[in-house]
Structure formats: structure tokens, C-alpha cells
Amino acid sequence: MASQDNVSRSEAPNGSDSHIAPTTKVAFVTGITGQDGSYLTEFLLQKGYEVHGLIRRSSNYNTQRINHIYVDPHNANKARMKLHYADLSDASSLRRWLDVIKPHEVYNLAAQSHVAVSFEIPDYTADVVATGALRLLEAVRSHMADTGRTIKYYQAGSSEMFGSTPPPQSETTPFHPRSPYAASKCAAHWYTVNYREAYNLYACNGILFNHESPRRGENFVTRKITRALGRIKVGLQTKLFLGNIQASRDWGFAGDYVEAMWLMLQQEKPDDYVVATEESHTVEEFLEVSFGYLGLNWKDHVEIDKRYFRPTEVDNLKGDASKAKEGLKWKPKVGFVQLVKMMVDEDLETAKREKVLVDAGYIDAQQQP
């Protein structure tokens, strides 16, 4: 386990670490404990990077998605991923870690990333998603000005910025955000463009359409479905409550999308790119494919609950990723059906393990370990 005891602010992770080869590239990743942070870190480690991730303090361990790649920092020769406490709401922590780590690339993935929750906590969402990005950009700018160093910056933009503008959506499609989250991502997008233009910063916006995986947070619709489906299949639950199942999304695989983030920072010039599969499916289609895969009929299990409807909805997202395909030579490898099956397979295994614990009396069926 990536023990928080081992996340020490007193250690100097870069300059003082003699094991880092002078040519090793150093990446600084916010949101490393999230879905994308975990895939990006695996990807960068494979490329030979040293990866420094910012984690925020929580009362429970929040490193489940990166435990499998964590090496105790006392094992200095092998530990190429290092974790540091910071928060996008704390500007001083961002600047301090930039000065210590001296990264070549910064990936800003941290966010309060749930659209529906952003209606409940709009002020906090704006503080982290919009102002948080500005704090990090300013920390990068001032670090570069003070040290003469160069840093490349990636901003995690979102197809939610297009909101109610009809598909297909490309880099030139106007934004019409439909939630506090989406409006905050628009602000972060324009802060990034402004820092590029004002300070000549190598800064890119990746406008990524929905991307999923077995590591997706359990309250996003795809994972909510596959998690419930596994439990229904093994008899741990019978019903699944959902909101608007007519919404349509361009769903790709997170593992494919982190490569596009990295590619954006390897170009001659910084730019903004849409990353998408160019295919769109409704939530209902996701239900059809996933339940059908396990020989079940979703209509026997799904109930619509108004609680999950949003004050304003984004009806239809479908990206036009031509620029990324041509400019970055990027294309998605995992298609819709393969993605659904991958998630169902993993969550069926998880449910089977839960069932063993339930049958042995260690947990009750309502409780998820």
C-alpha cells in the first residue's frame, strides 16, 4: 500500500536524488490518484520518466489505483513514482513542489470531476477546477521566470465544455457549458490559452471526450452500471437506479487517452486537441450491450430515479478527432463493445470476490468492501 506515512514533504525528491540519471525526464502529475492519473503514471514510467504525483490529504487512503506501481521510497533505486501532499486550492504547495521537483512536464489532471456533484458544490468546483488551474499555471510561470527553466504544461479539458452545441464537436466548435463543472473547465481552458499567448508557455489543452475503464469512479454512469451488473449476476442485488438514459456519449478507453496527453507535449509547438473515438452511444445502448453480454435483460433490473437527472443536461457528444489523428498520429485502440466487455469482466470478478465474503459472513450484501 502507498502509505501516506511515506509521503514526506521533508525529502527533496529531485535535486538530492543521486539515482536519477541526468537525462531522465521528470513529470509532475496532479490528480495522480484518479483514473487518468493512474494510467498516465504507468505510461510515463514505461517511457522511463520519473513521476511525481500530488496527493491530497484524506482520512482514508486514497491511493488504491496506484498501489500496484508504488515502491517504498526507502528503496531509492527502484522508486520512480513519488507522492507529495499538496492541493490545487493551496498555491504555495504547488509552487514549493515545482521548485523541489523541477519537472520537465506538468500534467494538470486534478479536479472535482463529477458533473452532477458540481451543481451541489459549485463554489468548491470552481475553486479547484478553474482557479486551481490558474494557480498551477501561475506557479509554473513564476518558477520558470525565477529559475530560467522550461516546463511544458498539459491541461485536462473536457467535452463537457461543448455542452449544448450539437455534434460533431471539434477544436473550433463554440463552447456552451451546461454545469458549474463545465463552465469551470472553460475558464481553465482559456487561462491555459492566455498563458500560452501572454508568456509563450508551452501549454496545451486536451479536450477529451468521456473515457472509461475498470478504474473509473463508481458514481460515473458506465462504472455504476458494470458494478451493479456484476452484483446482480451473482445475486448480491436486484435493482439499479439511473437517471437520463437517453443521453449520448463518445466513450473511449482511458488507457488510450493518456497517450494523447503525452503526445501533445512532444510536438514542436503547443496546441489544443480534441481526443475522441468519433462514435456516440446512449446510456441505454450501454445497458443493452453490458447486460446482454451476461445474458441478462436490463429492463428487468433498471429503474429510473429522478434524483439522478441534472438541472441542465448535455444530450449528445460526439467528437471530431481529425486534428489529433493527423497532428499527433493518435488513434483509439479500444472500441465501444470491447470497452464494455472489459469493464463487465473486471466487475464480475469483483462481485464474485464480494460474494465469497458475504457467504462467509464477513460482510453483508449491502456493504461493499
Write out the catalytic residue numbers.
158, 160, 181
User: Among ligand NDP, ligand GDR, none, what binds residue 247 when CB lies within 5 to 8 Å by partner kind?
Assistant: ligand GDR
Helical ranges in the chain per DSSP H: 35-46, 91-101, 115-120, 122-125, 132-147, 180-199, 221-233, 254-264, 283-293, 322-327, 336-359
Contact with ligand GDR (CB under 6 A) among 91, 207, 221, 275: 221
Q: Which is nearer to ligand NDP, 131 or 164 (CB)?
A: 131
The answer to whether the beta carbons of residues 163 and 314 sit under 8 Å apart is yes
Q: Which is nearer to ligand GDR, 82 or 189 (CB)?
A: 189
- Grid cell 487512503 is found at 61
The answer to whether the beta carbons of residues 137 and 194 sit under 8 Å apart is no
Report d(CA 85, CA 9) in Å as an integer. 7
Q: Which is nearer to ligand GDR, 144 or 317 (CB)?
A: 317
Under the binding rule (CB under 6 A), the answer on residue 260 touching ligand GDR is no
The answer to whether the beta carbons of residues 221 and 115 sit under 8 Å apart is no
Under the binding rule (CB under 6 A), the answer on residue 76 touching ligand GDR is no
- Grid cell 487561462 is found at 191
For ligand NDP, the nearest residue by Cβ is: 34
Q: Which is nearer to ligand GDR, 73 or 230 (CB)?
A: 230
Q: How far is the CB of 101 from ligand GDR (least distance, A)?
A: 26
Report d(CA 26, CA 15) in Å as an integer. 11
CA 92 vs CA 103, 127, 293: distances in Å: 17, 15, 50
Under the binding rule (CB under 6 A), the answer on residue 308 touching ligand GDR is yes
Amino acid at 109: L
Q: How far is the CB of 297 from ligand NDP (least distance, A)?
A: 28
Contact with ligand GDR (CB under 6 A) among 245, 294, 296, 357: 245
Report residue 333 CA to chain centroid gap: 18
User: Among ligand NDP, ligand GDR, none, what binds residue 91 when CB lies within 5 to 8 Å by partner kind?
Assistant: none
What are the DSSP E strand ranges found in 72-139? 81-85, 105-108
Under the binding rule (CB under 6 A), the answer on residue 219 touching ligand GDR is yes
Q: Which is nearer to ligand GDR, 43 or 220 (CB)?
A: 220
Q: How far is the CB of 239 from ligand GDR (least distance, A)?
A: 12
Q: How far is the CB of 115 from ligand GDR (least distance, A)?
A: 4
Q: Which is nearer to ligand NDP, 224 or 233 (CB)?
A: 224
Under the binding rule (CB under 6 A), the answer on residue 113 touching ligand GDR is yes
* CA nearest to 25, candidates 42, 48, 53: 48
Amino acid at 69: I
Under the binding rule (CB under 6 A), the answer on residue 256 touching ligand GDR is no
Under the binding rule (CB under 6 A), the answer on residue 158 touching ligand GDR is yes
Site for ligand GDR in 8-27 (CB under 6 A): none
CA dihedral (240, 246, 250, 256) in degrees, to 10, reads 0
# residues near ligand GDR by CB under 6 A: 22
User: Among ligand NDP, ligand GDR, none, what binds residue 355 when CB lies within 5 to 8 Å by partner kind?
Assistant: none
User: Among ligand NDP, ligand GDR, none, what binds residue 272 when CB lies within 5 to 8 Å by partner kind?
Assistant: none
Helix, coil or strand: residue 274: strand
User: Among ligand NDP, ligand GDR, none, what binds residue 36 when CB lies within 5 to 8 Å by partner kind?
Assistant: ligand NDP
Angle at the Cα of 216 (from 214 to 220), degrees rounded to 5?
130
Report d(CA 368, CA 358) in Å as an integer. 10
User: Among ligand NDP, ligand GDR, none, what binds residue 327 when CB lies within 5 to 8 Å by partner kind?
Assistant: none
- CB neighbour list of residue 320: distance below 8 Å, 6 or more residues apart: 168, 169, 170, 274, 276, 278
Amino acid at 212: E
Binding site for ligand NDP (CB under 6 A): 30-31, 33-37, 54, 56, 58, 62, 87-89, 109-113, 128, 156, 158, 208, 210-211, 217
Q: How far is the CB of 37 from ligand GDR (least distance, A)?
A: 13
